[in-house]
Chain A
């Protein structure tokens, strides 16, 4: 049964802010994503040049070589503003908390065979440093990128990376102890398997172009690392060897990658679709960083799959290329 409750109705003078209406093409009701995103960044009459970067304005589209007629052409398909973002993550962290709790209270970590446990520790714990790098890089993209439509998801992504680094730390403490964190840090600093990846991450720290950084971090590195580690190695290889508990502890990462790649793909598609020049530049960057990421990940994959690393990484690259093709890029 429909109930028709009455409220006093007053005709509004307008439906939304003018700057939003201009983007919608008419004064019509706007979503909270739109009102919280469109033109939120200052775009005119800056008072002073940054003393730390006098070549540029405070917000300056020329910090990147990518050119857009309108930086608000970017859309986050998840329509995340702060409220929807935190609600989504709060739900995911509920599940993660339940999973950690399940593994802990059932003593599932103790039931893992030594080999799976050792592999998991060796593979996953150093990755917390990689995620920390992702946090730093996405903060850069947010700070030096142009237009809230692009920069807003970057701060969410930065905090996500921090969250992931913290979940990986908990995995280390759950399966092992502080010593495992120290061992993983040593491996990260000096172990042969990790030096290619650490070099990659440190090289990304000095990139100045926020969109090239987006490609190096969010497209190439994460685009290969997450499916390789969390989908292929954890969900397939380790699970088949009795490591389902590990899959529970990393479920957040698997789901997070599935969700966030929609934003990453949409961003690439919009930027590449803008012009042939953008497309060529994005393809060049993607190819360069994909090849570096693939070779840096090879010894990491070996930790879990040994001699099959070549094949496993090659498969990831192939899937990556297919994914990029859908975003309109040939790499």
Chain B
């Protein structure tokens, strides 16, 4: 009987290959170019998709099993945290402003990653990377939802989170992360993989995710910490996918090198510009600090990222040119960013404040070459003015960079006393940039970046008022109209932390929870 013939035992690799690329076939009733219409226009040459090495091997049954186990644990903790009023155990209510920044700025990007990977997972002609991308797509909707579900409890008690989706598409500083992802998803599928799969997941995850989750852990936020830890094993898969894609492109054809190099240069810069918000969070917004932004950059980029670029050197990839300037900026980035938000505190959906004396001393210690010289005097002046009842709010609108969309707040790489301005002429218009790098990105693809929905321009053009607003009416208040368009509640979501509803509620509630009065 044939049953006596022992079956050949398949290796894990062979088995996984049958479970993924073995399912695929070369179409003949439709042309391959019609089935995968976006695979060629970026100029990337792939000769043999079978050379793709799966960065991880996970069949769907195992995926469901592992992920369900993680979800069960995560939601048990979220529920317990909510039930025990866990929000009252954070260091102090200022911490909650980092949560606001995260939910309005980052969670919507997780959702974009979900849709972006569905798109790329549909379009790459190789079965191996397609499966890996679709798995990342479903992971990313997980991250978006677990973040919304964890932070939902904060929204019940604190201001600024209540309309995060609406704000993400409109508010001036949120156009920075939004335009970053819009840029990636509107690029071709290969560039998307470098932008998100490589630069964002691989090079920069350590500088966004790790500080945020560590910040949560340091400051007693069990719910944000838990979704962070729970996402860790997913992130590990995403990082290996990102790296595998870049190696694969470089191995397939030498002509791919200059294209990939340009994308790495561009996305390293785009990514670090978004990290401006993280720098400010680490140095100013966490009541209990983990490390300074400068230290984080040194550990996670200069050391870890440096090792990565050494690994890629054998393919001919070199360290992005912008790194030199980023290294100079590390002394200044967080201070310049926080000063800007302090200025525009009336138009932000989180609270700002001046650091107390201990915190200023910590900053002096961490930034011996820059803080006392350039930034402390200004903060002390603002603090003293606020104490006299003159809390300063800037009411004019800043000029934005056409590419990264950050207000022109950065200084010249070699002169921290001079704002860095660059400009270029394209067709009939002049465009402005924060740096040589943003300018170079624009000049390579001007038709893309002239489309930027720049919040300040849009306000001046009258596109950011609620429907039916008449800007010519007597007593028209433009700031109030813009905040109404943002769904920002004046006096509750914005302004200084000192005297805010969040501050008062937190103190009162913590009193109820910890005393018998």
Chain A interface residues toward B at CB < 8 A: 7-8, 10, 12-19, 32, 35-36, 39-52, 58-59, 81-83, 86-87, 89-94, 96-97, 110, 128-129, 131-132, 135-136, 139-140, 142-144, 148, 151-152, 155-156, 158-160, 162-163, 165-167, 169, 173, 177-178, 181, 185, 188-189, 198-199, 202-203, 205-206
Task: Give the top 4 A-B pairs by smallest Cβ distance, nearest first.
Answer: A90-B68, A163-B60, A12-B156, A132-B23
The reply to whether the CB of B359 lies closer than 8 angstroms to some CB of chain A is no
The reply to whether the CB of B452 lies closer than 8 angstroms to some CB of chain A is yes
Given contacts A18-B166, A86-B67, A90-B68, A155 and B25 within 8 Å (CB-CB): no
User: How far is A158 from B57 in the complex, measured between Cα atoms in Å?
Assistant: 18
The answer to whether B30 touches A202 (Cβ under 8 A) is yes
A-B contact count (CB 8 A): 244
User: How far is A159 from B322 in the complex, measured between Cα atoms in Å?
Assistant: 39
The reply to whether the CB of B182 lies closer than 8 angstroms to some CB of chain A is yes
Given contacts A16-B155, A44-B170, A159 and B60 within 8 Å (CB-CB): yes
Contacts of B472 in A (CB 8 A): none
Given contacts A82-B141, A202-B29, A155 and B186 within 8 Å (CB-CB): no
Contacts of B182 in A (CB 8 A): 46-48, 58
B27 to chain A, nearest CB (A): 5
The answer to whether B85 touches A10 (Cβ under 8 A) is yes
The answer to whether B156 touches A13 (Cβ under 8 A) is yes
Q: Interface size on B (CB < 8 Å)?
A: 96
Contacts of A202 in B (CB 8 A): 27-30, 35
Contacts of A45 in B (CB 8 A): 169-170, 175, 178, 453, 458
Grouping DSSP codes into helix (H, G, I), strand (E, B) and loop, the A interface class, with mixed when no group exceeds half, is helix
Given contacts A43-B169, A45-B169, A206 and B452 within 8 Å (CB-CB): no
Grouping DSSP codes into helix (H, G, I), strand (E, B) and loop, the B interface class, with mixed when no group exceeds half, is helix
The answer to whether A47 touches B61 (Cβ under 8 A) is no
For A198, give the chain B residue with the smallest CB separation.
B29
For B42, give the chain A residue with the smallest CB separation.
A51
The reply to whether the CB of B179 lies closer than 8 angstroms to some CB of chain A is yes
The answer to whether A47 touches B183 (Cβ under 8 A) is yes
The answer to whether A163 touches B27 (Cβ under 8 A) is no
Given contacts A169-B19, A188-B25, A206-B35, A82 and B145 within 8 Å (CB-CB): yes
The reply to whether the CB of B427 lies closer than 8 angstroms to some CB of chain A is no
- Which residue of A17, A39, A135, A144 contacts B134 across the interface (Cβ within 8 Å)? A135
Given contacts A110-B3, A188-B25, A205 and B30 within 8 Å (CB-CB): yes
- Which residue of B85, B137, B452 contacts A142 across the interface (Cβ within 8 Å)? B137
- Which residue of B149, B163, B189, B451 contacts A32 across the interface (Cβ within 8 Å)? B149
User: How far is A178 from B152 in the complex, measured between Cα atoms in Å?
Assistant: 50
Contacts of A131 in B (CB 8 A): 23
- Which residue of A50, A110, A198, A206 contacts B34 across the interface (Cβ within 8 Å)? A206
The reply to whether the CB of B71 lies closer than 8 angstroms to some CB of chain A is yes
Chain B residues numbered 1-44 whose CB sits less than 8 Å from any CB in chain A? 3, 7-8, 10, 14-15, 18-19, 22-25, 27-30, 34-35, 37-38, 41
Given contacts A43-B169, A93-B64, A96-B61, A51 and B23 within 8 Å (CB-CB): no
User: How far is A91 from B505 in the complex, measured between Cα atoms in Å?
Assistant: 43
A198 to chain B, nearest CB (A): 7
Contacts of A91 in B (CB 8 A): 68
A81 to chain B, nearest CB (A): 5
Chain B residues numbered 115-148 whose CB sits less than 8 Å from any CB in chain A? 115, 118-119, 121-123, 130-131, 134-135, 137-138, 141-142, 144-146, 148
Given contacts A17-B163, A169-B18, A181-B22, A163 and B64 within 8 Å (CB-CB): yes
Given contacts A51-B448, A52-B38, A36 and B25 within 8 Å (CB-CB): no
- Which residue of A16, A165, A169, A185 contacts B25 across the interface (Cβ within 8 Å)? A185
User: How far is A48 from B41 in the complex, measured between Cα atoms in Å?
Assistant: 18
Besides A14-B156, A173-B15, 4 more A-B contacts (Cβ < 8 Å) are A10-B509, A58-B185, A151-B115, A159-B138
